[in-house]
Structure 1
Amino acid sequence: MNLVGRGPDGTGDPDHARAGRRVITVVGVGADGWDGLVPASRRAVEAADVVVGSARQLALVPETGAERVPLPSPLLPNLPGLLDSLPDRAVCVLASGDPMFHGIGSTLVRLVGAERVRVLPHVSSVSLACARLGWPVESVEVVSLVGRPPAALRAALQPGRRVLVLGGTAGVVGDTLDEAGYGPSRVVVLSDLGAPTEAVGVESGLQVIAVDCVAAPGSRPFARVPGLPDDAFEHDGQLTKREVRAVSLSRLAPFPGELLWDVGAGAGSIAIEWMRAHPSCRAVAVESRPERAARVRRNADALGVPALRVVEGGAPAALDGLPRPDAVFVGGGVTVPGLVEACWAALAPGGRLVANAVTLESEAVVAGWYGRLGGDLVRLAVQRASPVGGFTGWRAAMPVTVWSVRKDTP
């Protein structure tokens, strides 16, 4: 076990002050403003040379004599420059609620490192909403629609599930529920939580939307376990079928936060189910045919993972410049010269590569790589019951060979 000490100010480096490194203090502010801040948060604001925040946040704290600087827009491209323009000054950045929960605290840590950020959180809107509703926080899924399309809500919708939506409107959430087959769900709008103007059922610029999921009669809810029905995807026949998809994903083994390349994506089913495994899973679908790439995008929206990145182009050339993957699935094009080599070379240590083969030619390529790198080679033969006259018989699908291997060395 590696025990890490903490400094007296809560940062990860007890000696940062002696080292002379500037620390940015992030203060979470609730809708109740200055009155709701604990003494330590008030002192941080009062001691700052510069107070940075949105117009709404700056209006919630009194004038202290510090310079007031509005957050830039767009934020991410301009924030590093803003910080660089404030050298050797005590900077306090205001945030809404808990700065480390979908907030600017996380962004600052990513930019300058945890040792240079001191966070003083307020109660989050999620905690306040759960307190008002009587919902245990640990049983609730949170979906942020800030800067994201409404389709991002779809993956969280399951019967009996409780979801809190940040950044959406009741109209947008209601339309998404109807389209996804969850129209009967109970929806509650909670606005200005913690403020004197707090209200239920009234929309404002600062609100949380609570959804108690109820599936409509006749609808077909989809679980997050790999192996969605084939007709859950729009496709032209170029689709990794349900049983083979479940086996392939079990070998790809998605872990939270990991990145997948789905090469020769077809309908995008592997990439989509990878991303549905956990909200932090990421994927790039590489597809050479424009009409199929467009279909991948539609499937991703319909199944709640609109953040799926789709790259149009033929592999291996289309792989150049992509971020390094933790797993690669080759569902099509395994016989293209240099494709498997490029995927294997790009794969991160500990990563997994899975390639499926249907034809004799692709099986020969896969068998050759199995002989070189080892791994696991499985042949799947699936038969489905279908009518035979007035009876029922078995109809065999084409067998699929699945090769999987782990990259244990750099």
Structure 2
Amino acid sequence: MCDKICESGCSAVLIGAGMGNENMLTLDARTQIEQADACIGAVRLLEVCPKEKPKFAEYRSVEIIKIIKGHPEYSRWAIVLSGDVGFYSGAKALTQACKEAEIPVDIVPGIASVVYLAAKLGVSWEDAALRSIHGRNQNIIYAIDHHTKTFLLLDRKSGTEFCEQIREYGIEDLICHIGVRLSYGDETIRTISAGELTPEDLGELSTMLIENPHPAESVSAHLPDDAFIRSQEGHVVPMTKAEVRAVSMAKLGLTREAVFYDIGAGTGSVSIEAALHGEQVQVYAIEQREDACDLIRANRRKFRAAQVQVIHGSAPEAMEGLPAPTHAFIGGSTGHLHDIIRMLKEKNPEVTLVINAISLETVEEVMCAVRSGLLTDPEIVQMNVAASRVLGRYHMMTGQNPVYIITERKQ
């Protein structure tokens, strides 16, 4: 019960109305709507409100506040929202808007389409990934690849992009249960393979359960060198070796929502491992060689690392239009290390930076950056790696080039 009153005498209750059929309203939601002086919501959702009740068709938070403030004759408002107020709902932004406008607000939950579809299919949902690409950008390939079950909200536009991603990342064997116009008399629930899925199978708003019979089992983001595609059409592209990659990634210390630049990305091995740290990590693989960019895309497909964006161009110029990085790895700078570091710090003075240097010339560039104050007290580690190889009856150790790993992070 919303018993708080603001100075102007108004109060609001945010109501989860389920999927839109009034039969799906909870008793509490129905009571709150009946007791309200007026209702606000999307046109479809206002159909659950009594005909005689004053109604305003609006779903944008700012405009809703304007309506409430502009109608002091109504003291109690019911704001009707689709599904449940806690599942990809406008309730989050609207609650904050009401708080800023000093409008007391209460919240009444509803039945989410995911819960409804799960019940219809006779499956549980507590062990599923829950995602939405309805009106938002979200990396769903990672979630689908790592979970047996993924529930997804999508519309026809985002569904077109989803169908393209299914084919790009080779996951046509997924099983898709598609619910359209759930709870209405003409609802449909179909089960088809992802390879058969087309945008025409989706409605303006659909709920889908995606079953993956072979989800990724590994919890490690580290990959062996031979897992990567190294060449196309006979051209071998340089790659940061596994042991150096492991130490460099540890030094980077990526965070959950990191924005990561891999500069001089080569085959994309560092980019791929960064992406495997989590679906919210944004990865920009910056590479000047066109054949290397093709390799990065090939490895992105192989490892279903959809959050890797390939940027063809030379740093620092290729970095100009990108969002500010939280972390950056420089594996190749082609003599422009000073300018690259300067631009990284202009974008974010707090950026965590890891540089790999093999040649002494690159080491000298690093030391020049230290002397000029561009790098401040970096940690410098030299790493020597030797791997065994069979030579007749013997196993011999073969050394790789020593690598300097330079790290600068803000404490």
What TM-score do you get using the length of structure 2 for normalisation?
0.70
- Give runs of aligned pairs for residues 272-311 of structure 1, distance below 5 A: 272-289=272-289, 292-293=292-293, 296-297=296-297, 299-300=299-300, 302-311=302-311
Q: Which runs of 5+ in 2 are unaligned?
A: 72-76, 192-200
Structure number, greater radius of gyration: 2
Structure 2 residue aligned with 1:331: 331
Aligned match for 1:105, one of 78, 91, 104: 91
Contact kept? 1:263, 1:287, Cα under 8 Å: yes
1:228 paired residue number: 223
What whole-Å deviation, never above 9, does each CA across 1:31-51 have from its counterpart, x for those lacking one?
362232235534665636562
| Residues 143 and 153 in structure 1, CA contact (< 8 A), matched pair in contact too | no
Q: Size of the alignment, in residue pairs?
A: 381
Residues 237 and 292 of structure 2 are in contact (CA less than 8 Å); yes or no, is this contact kept in structure 1? no
Given that residues 181 and 215 in structure 1 are in contact (C-alpha distance below 8 angstroms), is that contact kept between their aligned partners in structure 2?
Answer: no
Q: Secondary structure at the match of 1:273?
A: helix
Aligned partner of 1:127 in structure 2 is 115
| Matching residue within 72, 92, 95 for 2:81 | 95
Contact persistence 1:57–1:96 (CA under 8 A)? yes
**Distance in 2 between residues matched to 1:390 and 1:174, nearest whole Å:** 54
Confirm or deny: 8 A CA contact 2:388 2:396 kept in the other structure: yes
The one-letter code of the counterpart of 1:378 is V
Q: Specify the SS of the correspondent of 1:210.
A: strand
- 2:132 corresponds to 1:144: yes
Instruction: Return the alpha-carbon distance in structure 1 between the equivalents of residues 349 and 106 of structure 2.
Output: 33
Offset of residue 181 of structure 1: 6.5
Q: Distance in 1 between matches of 2:291 and 2:79?
A: 46
Partner amino acid, structure 1, of 2:91: G
380, 391, 405: which one pairs with 1:377?
Answer: 380
- Residues 175/400 of structure 1: CA separation in 2 closer, same or farther (3 Å cut): same
Matches within 5 A, 1:134-173: 137-146=125-134, 152-154=140-142, 156-158=144-146, 161-167=148-154
CA contact (8 A) 1:224 1:273 kept: no
CA distance in 2, matches of 1:393, 1:362: 30
What are the residue-to-residue correspondences of 1:182-331 with 2, within 5 Å? 187-190=176-179, 201=190, 205=203, 207-215=206-214, 221=216, 223=218, 225-230=220-225, 231-233=227-229, 236-289=236-289, 292-293=292-293, 296-297=296-297, 299-300=299-300, 302-320=302-320, 322-331=322-331
Q: Among 386, 401, 406, which residue is 1:403 paired with?
A: 406
CA shift for structure 1 position 315:
2.9
Look up the SS of the partner of 2:401 in the other structure.
coil
TM-score with structure 1 setting the length? 0.70
Measure how far apart 1:323 and its partner are: 3.2
The 3 A distance-change label for structure 1 pair 49 and 361 is: farther
Q: How does 1:39-50 map to 2 (within 5 A)?
A: 39-42=27-30, 45=33, 47=36, 49=38
Q: Using a 3 Å threshold, how does the CA distance of structure 1 residues 83 and 150 change in structure 2: closer, same or farther?
A: closer
CA contact (8 A) 2:61 2:93 kept: no
Rounded Cα–Cα distance in structure 2 between residues aligned with 1:113 and 1:257? 28
Alpha-carbon distance in 2 for matches of 1:85, 1:215: 50
Q: How far is the alpha carbon of 1:399 from its aligned partner?
A: 3.0
3-state SS of paired residue (2:69)? coil
Q: Can you give the 5+ residue segments of structure 1 that lack an aligned partner in the other structure? A: 1-7, 72-78
Letter of the 1:97 counterpart: G
After TM superposition, give the deviation of residue 209 of structure 1 in Å.
3.1
Task: Give CA deviations for 1:323-365 in whole Å, capped at 9, x if unaligned.
Answer: 333222222218413322332343354x522111122111233
1:43–1:368 CA distance, 2 compared to 1 (3 A): farther
Asked whether the equivalents of residues 34 and 62 of structure 1 are also in contact (C-alpha less than 8 Å), the reply is no
Output the CA distance in 2 between the equivalents of 1:318 and 1:244: 25
What displacement does 1:195 show?
5.5
What is the alpha-carbon distance in structure 2 between the residues aligned to residue 93 and residue 214 of structure 1?
41
Q: Give the Cα separation in 2 of the matches to 1:232 and 1:57.
A: 50
Look up the equivalent residue of 1:315 and give its one-letter code: A
Distance 1:315 1:190, change over 3 A: same
1:227/1:164 CA distance change after superposition, 3 Å: same
Amino acid in structure 2 at the alignment position of 1:376: E
Contact 1:99 1:105 in 2 (8 A): yes
Structure 1 stretch displaced more, 331-340 or 180-189: 180-189
Aligned to 1:344, the other structure's residue is in SS state helix
Aligned-pair CA distance for 1:243: 3.0
Contact 2:180–2:189 under 8 Å retained in 1: yes
Instruction: State the Cα distance separating 1:298 from its structure 2 match.
Output: 5.4
* Cα deviation, residue 98, structure 1: 2.4
Q: Are the structure 2 counterparts of residues 179 and 294 from structure 1 closer, same or farther at C-alpha, using a change threshold of 3 Å?
A: closer
Q: 1:399 to 1:180 in 2, by over 3 A?
A: same
Letter in 1 for 2:130: V
3-state DSSP of counterpart to 2:256: coil
Residue 33 of structure 1: aligned partner: 21
Contact 2:168 2:301 in 1 (8 A): no
Q: After the TM superposition, which of the residue ranges 145-154 and 269-278 deviates more from structure 2?
A: 145-154
Between 270-279 and 309-318, report the one with greater CA deviation. Answer: 309-318
1:164 counterpart letter in structure 2: F
Is residue 63 from structure 1 mapped to residue 51 from structure 2 by the alignment? yes
For the structure 1 residues 140 and 382, does the alpha-carbon distance in structure 2 shift closer, same or farther, using more than 3 Å as the test?
farther
How far apart are the structure 1 equivalents of 2:99 and 2:129? 26
Deviation of 1:392 (Å): 5.7
More moved, 251-260 vs 264-273: 264-273
